[in-house]
Amino acid sequence: MDAKNTRPPFLEGEEKQAMFNAVIKKIRNNFDTGKKQLEGISDVEIKQLKDRYSHFADTFSGGFLVHSALIIDKLNLPKGWFHYFFNLKQEIRNIAVSVVAQDGAGVLSLDSLVFGSISKLNTNENYMHVSQVYRNTRNVWVKNEKGQAYLLNPQPNFYDSTGRLEAENYAAFSCEQAPGYTVIRSSRDGFEFRYRIFVPESLPGEIWSIAVKNGSGVKRSIHIYPEINFGLDSHPSHYFVGMAVSEVDYDAEKHAILAKNLDVKNSFPRWAALISGEKPASFESCGDLYYGFGATIIYPAAIFKEKLSNVEAKQPLKGMVGVFQYEFELEPAEEREISLALVAIDPAVGVDQQINDWKEILTQTGAEAELENVNGLWDRIFESYLIKTPVGEIDRTFNVWGKYQSTLCSRFNSPYDVGTRDMFQYLLANCVFEPGYVRMMIPYLLSYQYRNGRIPRQVSKFSELHDLRSFMDCQLWMHDLVSLYIQESGDFDILDEEVGFLEADHKTRSHKDKEPIYQHLLLAIKSAYEGNLGEHGLCKLGYGGWNDALDGLKGEHSESVWLSQLLVYASRKMRELAEWKKDQDTVLYLDRLIAGVTEAINISGWDKQGYYIFGYDNQGRPVGSSANDEGQKHLNENSWAILSGVAPQERISSITHAMEALETPFGPRLLIPYSKKSSKDVGRIADQAPGHFENGAVYQHGVMFWAKALLGFDVDAAYENFVALTNKNRIPDISSNPDIYHSNYTAVPENPDYGKEPYYPFTGSHTWRMMFLVEMLGIKFGLTHLRIDPKVPADWSNSVADGELIFKVRKISNRKEHPDLLIGMEVYRDDSLAPGKKKVLIDGSELMALNGQFQIELDDPTFGNGSGRKKVIEIKVYVPGLTQIRKSRSIFPTHN
């Protein structure tokens, strides 16, 4: 029996903790001894660890996983598992994002997590929200008829004076994190509670629905106090202190607490409101009166009074708060529900009308209709592209949560401003399930391009304070995006759309002398090439060279191998578009560029030990080479040598052999780490703990680059690297993150946090994870054709018998000439085929390969008349079974 058998089920007892800790110790020992993460861990133990804190509630349709929710059923997690939901509208400004952890912690922000806060954590917060703080800004207090107060949302670290965890007083707790909303459920003191938060499609804010049911057999009275702290900080900062410009008005007719920041120098002016759907008994807006004063405040003093103060705060020392008091008398089994909204208010336009817009939906039926609309929008996104593979964790990520994370980042991509190189990559995944949004974003992003072809590292949606650091790669990511968008949509007209430029004052987006997007793309190529090559014929490094922490290398003469490879990669994408436009002058220009830069990379970027180096510092000395004492090998330059087509075929095996030194159970690390002594020469990277961040961690973005590079010639090796960073290889106690999001990096052996993923979810790794699967699954539109080229790893083909289905795909076409075309593909094992061969049937007829490729031109009669009516194409692919799996490299042990 559990040593703490009186504890509620959501609090783990000592015996279970000891059992789990013993298994985790074995995993840690595997790390220490250089073994695979899960070696010696049984399938039962793995499942127990994966289900320790939560489980998934999945929905299936037609054999495909189409919806998923994470049900958290333990209160004490490795850290705060924050969930993000946001406006799903196709607009650029006034996008609200709500961040909510399992205990209610989090914030509401508008357009920027840090600069656009509406509510606020009242202690130091990190833009990734990686840790929770005591005062979590979003609470619902409860007071019973005896005057006893507690939270509706149980907290993991509240203790009484005897050391007893306060959460032991609850009979039940769970937290549901689903696409678009969170629901916290609890019961205590004979009451059952439900606390749901979601963000509607368009209005900038979050809707709360709080329900309480009397679960006792007698009539009860209860008071409910929803509470938030307003966080209307100025941008870039207050000229004095925040409270000096803070002021609250209360609209008694609309039941709205209106919080104002009256700072006239605020470049991002916004107000906020907490609006009640029904009349409250009282309200509070002044932090001074609500919390009182003292070094430690656990319970707000005001809730122990008969009523809140009903005071409109003016310059409160402890900030502006929003609190309502509701008083209910409940018969046995009676339930009451109230609706509220925490919202962003634009002070420059009709404030009353904005509040009225929210009041219209703050009814039980109104809130339910809004949520139903949000759910429908997500269903359409999820069902646009579905897969069923032998690995359920991969299906769940691709079908639901990968699309969800991609959509989040594309609308709310950065903690500060819009990172241009980030957004160009984030939007790649959106091309395959939401090209309309991509179509809106491309001209917007290109409007910040200078006339010389460069583009700022970050641009601000709400001010002119753009990030002007000299990153040289930002403009070179646009070609991949525009090319993929056209492939998925067939919208070639975008190339002719005229877009203006950001002027030299770094502020004005001019509409004069606009150029077609095609010319913007060409200017971007020229900006990285003409007048930008160094002594070795490589692109000048500028600020970052992808590894931003090597900022000590910036200098007029520093050169980057990776930036040169990216230039070649972008030029190849540009060349495809130039060929389509029959622009032969540009084709010849790009051919010369590609040949010349490729030759320079292969001469000056190649190390005698058989791999590509990082580049050269300002003194012309090699960096990331065997001649260096530290940082001898870097992953990205070797991934991109393959991705860009720069590396000759005869060098591939040498590259892959050299990169084996970087392997970990979570994929290859970014580089062999630097140490403190290099700080003045290479930059802030040496100030980072070994194995964290850019200093030799497993940067998941980098692993996805490497996996994608390998996919062209070694499917099994590519898949092994890919799957190392999927949920199949994640243990919550090790990674510390929930399985609904993927992180930007994983700590490696030099650090005691080995295996931990400190941050989520703002990372470009998720889009490359999605695009890896798109490429591997093998249904992909080109500019003028549909390619069928599934790359089946041995793990998948050997999971079924001869003649059985390996995986299937269902994709809805977004091509203009074939809208709503439903493409279904099933891949079967057929051992009668010779190794490396495929057989492809389309609607029952065999498709013959042309130059080794199975593809159909989009004007082929197979696609019908293109009238817009829905049509189904059925594709069947047959591949031989693979009899040997490279177990020596597999990250997963074989269990008997």
Judged against a pLDDT cut of 80, whether residue 553 lies above it is answered with yes
Judged against a pLDDT cut of 90, whether residue 124 lies above it is answered with no
Helix H, strand E, coil C: the string for 450-490 is ECCCCCCCEECCCCCCCECCCECCHHHHHHHHHHHHHHHHC
Whether 171 is covered by a domain: the verdict is yes
Q: How far apart are CA 760 and CA 814, in angstroms?
A: 30
Whether 765 is covered by a domain: the verdict is no
Q: Which among 515, 542, 576 is the end of a domain?
A: 515
Whether 625 is covered by a domain: the verdict is yes
Judgement on whether residues 172 and 271 belong to the same structural domain of the protein:
yes
Judgement on whether residues 502 and 543 belong to the same structural domain of the protein:
no
Judgement on whether residues 349 and 452 belong to the same structural domain of the protein:
no
Judgement on whether residues 136 and 226 belong to the same structural domain of the protein:
yes
What is the band of 136 on the pLDDT scale with cuts at 50, 70, 90?
low
Whether 357 is covered by a domain: the verdict is yes
Confidence at residue 296, expressed as pLDDT on a 0 to 100 scale? 64
Judgement on whether residues 214 and 190 belong to the same structural domain of the protein:
yes
Confidence at residue 121, expressed as pLDDT on a 0 to 100 scale? 59
Residue 828, domain extent: 779-879
Q: How far apart are CA 885 and CA 68, in angstroms?
A: 31
Confidence at residue 128, expressed as pLDDT on a 0 to 100 scale? 52
Judged against a pLDDT cut of 70, whether residue 716 lies above it is answered with yes
Confidence at residue 500, expressed as pLDDT on a 0 to 100 scale? 97
* pLDDT, tens digit (0-9, with 9 covering 90-100), for 341-358: 999 999 999 999 999 999
Q: How far apart are CA 401 and CA 394, in angstroms?
A: 10
CATH number at residue 306: 2.70.98.40
Judgement on whether residues 354 and 304 belong to the same structural domain of the protein:
yes
* pLDDT, tens digit (0-9, with 9 covering 90-100), for 627-637: 998 899 999 99
Q: How far apart are CA 707 and CA 543, in angstroms?
A: 26
Which of the given ranges, 260-269, 587-596, 747-756, has the highest pLDDT on average?
587-596
Judgement on whether residues 553 and 601 belong to the same structural domain of the protein:
yes
CATH number at residue 850: 2.60.420
Among 856, 777, 771, which Cα is nearest to 818's? 856
Q: CB burial class (10 A; 0-12, 13-18, 19+) of residue 766?
A: buried
Among 706, 697, 704, 699, which Cα is nearest to 748's? 697
Judged against a pLDDT cut of 60, whether residue 256 lies above it is answered with yes
Confidence at residue 463, expressed as pLDDT on a 0 to 100 scale? 83
Question: How many structural domains does the chain have?
Answer: 4
Judged against a pLDDT cut of 60, whether residue 133 lies above it is answered with no
Judgement on whether residues 472 and 556 belong to the same structural domain of the protein:
no
Average pLDDT over residues 486-515: 95
Q: Which among 587, 618, 636 is the end of a domain?
A: 636
Judged against a pLDDT cut of 90, whether residue 418 lies above it is answered with no
With beta carbons less than 8 A apart as the criterion, state whether 74 and 66 touch: no
Judged against a pLDDT cut of 50, whether residue 677 lies above it is answered with yes
Q: Which among 357, 377, 397 is the end of a domain?
A: 377
Judgement on whether residues 546 and 474 belong to the same structural domain of the protein:
no
Confidence at residue 852, expressed as pLDDT on a 0 to 100 scale? 86
Judgement on whether residues 588 and 472 belong to the same structural domain of the protein:
no
Q: Report DSSP letters for 796-861, one per residue.
A: HHTTS-TTSEEEEEEEE---TTSTT-EEEEEEEE-TTSPTT--EEEETTEEEPPBTTB-EEETTSG
Confidence at residue 870, expressed as pLDDT on a 0 to 100 scale? 61
Judgement on whether residues 458 and 565 belong to the same structural domain of the protein:
no
Whether 699 is covered by a domain: the verdict is no
Mean confidence (pLDDT) of the chain: 91
Whether 251 is covered by a domain: the verdict is yes
User: Which residue is it, tokens 């003016």?
Assistant: 314
Average pLDDT over residues 84-110: 92
Average pLDDT over residues 102-109: 90
* pLDDT, tens digit (0-9, with 9 covering 90-100), for 200-231: 999 999 999 999 999 999 999 999 999 999 98
Whether 175 is covered by a domain: the verdict is yes
Judgement on whether residues 354 and 276 belong to the same structural domain of the protein:
yes
Whether 742 is covered by a domain: the verdict is no
